Amino acid sequence: MSVYLDNSATTKPHKEVIDAMSRVMEETYGNPSSMHMLGVQAEKCLTESSRIISETLKCKPSEILFTSGGTESDNTALIGVAHARRRTGKHIITTRIEHPAILETCSFLEKEGFEVSYLGTDSNGIIDLDELESFIRPDTILVSVMHTNNEIGSRQPLDKAGSLIKKKNPDCIFHTDAVQGYGKDLIIPKKLNIDLMSVSAHKLHGPRGVGFLYIKDRTRIDPFIYGGGQQKGMRSGTENVAGIRGMAMAAGMAYDNLKEDTDRLRGLRSYFADELSNMESVTVNGPKNEIESAPHIISASFEGVRSEVLLHALEDREIYVSSGSACASNRPHVSATLKAIGLKPELLDSTIRFSMSVYTTREEIDHTLEVLNELLPTLRRFRRR
């Protein structure tokens, strides 16, 4: 049996998404900026896609900016706000457990002269709102807090954070990286005081290489990519019409079945986490309750077994998992998230991320547990001393 449990890295596109993209590539192949009929058809496809996505956020279609994915959306948000508001202030706040697309962009902005304050978290990966409040200053121009952590699945209290930010500094821009949360949770930016939100299509059974940035009306943000002035000058370059259509299809499907899918995933996650916790020398990381935890991510540390060794042992049995963020898993690194939550040093290199999707079954989870019970005693017996 082949079991794919690396859905936080990327998901299998829905058949409906593939079919929709294929039709666009075959039939709606005009440039959306062209004035002839084929161009108008492509432009209508973009307009319809904006409408579908905006309905999932209860926002205006004009507030959706299409990008190449989460990384570009994050870069556009942070650099765009920093450059647009540098005369107002140069202070930015984020967390220590953000995706590299945020942390590396903050590092870049620090080299440009911006000051970045980093929020810590508790052992479950949840920020301290009192610390956030203490960090906010009159010259704070941007706060970026992720919706759902990509490694341990902790979900931040964005409603309380948004209210706090706007109360203490109404002019401060609030951004969230919702790459792991969109499609798994109902997110209404205006209710959460969110000004900017990043999303990637391939995390919700859409295509790779496409995403969007929600930009609240009248939010000051400079363009990140210059050229022909597409998307009202905010993101030049010919739009990926087929990819955008596929993303809209995936978004619509996710929110049409949101409660049913998330309830089933939560049941699987609870069962899987309980079974892992009952194994000898296995620790499940992150929050346990439904409010603070994602329905699809389980992080577990296997004492006495290196994560890379376990990953490849599972791969040999056609079970596919991750040792952390896929964006960094192809090179040796120490997880900033696991360090931030205070994981024991000896477990930092013994942690595996299992991430599920709507296609994951109880049978697959049981098979994975069976294989783990079979592999772990052998791998521990022959571990390097």
Q: Are residues 233 and 164 in the same domain?
A: yes
Q: pLDDT in tens for each of the 385 residues of the chain?
A: 999 999 999 999 999 999 999 999 999 999 999 999 999 999 999 999 999 999 999 999 999 999 999 999 999 999 999 999 999 999 999 999 999 999 999 999 999 999 999 999 999 999 999 999 999 999 999 999 999 999 999 999 999 999 999 999 999 999 999 999 999 999 999 999 999 999 999 999 999 999 999 999 999 999 999 999 999 999 999 999 999 999 999 999 999 999 999 999 999 999 999 999 999 999 999 998 888 999 999 999 999 999 999 999 999 999 999 986 555 545 556 799 999 999 999 999 999 999 999 999 999 999 999 999 999 999 998 765 4
What are the percentages of helix, strand and coil residues in the chain, rounded to 5?
A: 45, 15, 40
Active site (catalytic) residues: 327
Q: Are residues 204 and 319 in the same domain?
A: no
Structural domain total, the chain: 2
Q: Are residues 320 and 367 in the same domain?
A: yes
Which residue, of 226, 256, 286, is where some domain finishes?
A: 256
Contact 66, 215 (CB under 8 A): no
Q: Are residues 269 and 249 in the same domain?
A: no
Q: Are residues 275 and 211 in the same domain?
A: no
Which residue, of 221, 239, 256, is where some domain finishes?
A: 256
Which residue, of 228, 256, 284, is where some domain finishes?
A: 256
Q: Are residues 24 and 149 in the same domain?
A: yes
Q: Are residues 100 and 167 in the same domain?
A: yes
Sign of the Cα pseudo-torsion (102, 104, 105, 107, in order): positive
Q: What is the DSSP letter of 12?
A: P
| Predicted pLDDT of residue 382 | 74
| Predicted pLDDT of residue 331 | 52
State the residue for tokens 């809209």.
Answer: 248
Q: What is the DSSP letter of 301?
A: E
What is the domain extent for residue 21? 15-256
Q: Are residues 243 and 350 in the same domain?
A: no
- pLDDT tens for residues 302-325? 999 999 999 999 999 999 999 865
Q: Are residues 287 and 153 in the same domain?
A: no
User: Which SS3 state, helix, strand or coil, does residue 299 take?
Assistant: strand
| Secondary structure (DSSP) of 171-219 | T-EEEEE-TTTBTTB---GGGGT-SEEEEEGGGTTS-TT-EEEEE-TT-
Q: What is the CATH number of the domain that holds 239?
A: 3.40.640.10
Phi/psi region, residue 279 (left: phi>0; alpha: psi -120 to 50; beta: rest), is beta
| Predicted pLDDT of residue 383 | 63
Q: Are residues 153 and 245 in the same domain?
A: yes
Q: Are residues 239 and 323 in the same domain?
A: no
Could you give the CA distance from residue 276 to residue 299 in angstroms, rounded to a whole number? 10
| Predicted pLDDT of residue 329 | 47
Could you give the CA distance from residue 233 to residue 170 in angstroms, rounded to a whole number? 27
Could you give the CA distance from residue 384 to residue 276 in angstroms, rounded to a whole number? 23
Q: What is the CATH number of the domain that holds 284?
A: 3.90.1150.10
| Predicted pLDDT of residue 327 | 53
Q: Are residues 232 and 105 in the same domain?
A: yes
Could you give the CA distance from residue 223 to residue 149 in angstroms, rounded to a whole number? 27
What does the block give as tokens for 71?
Answer: 């990384």
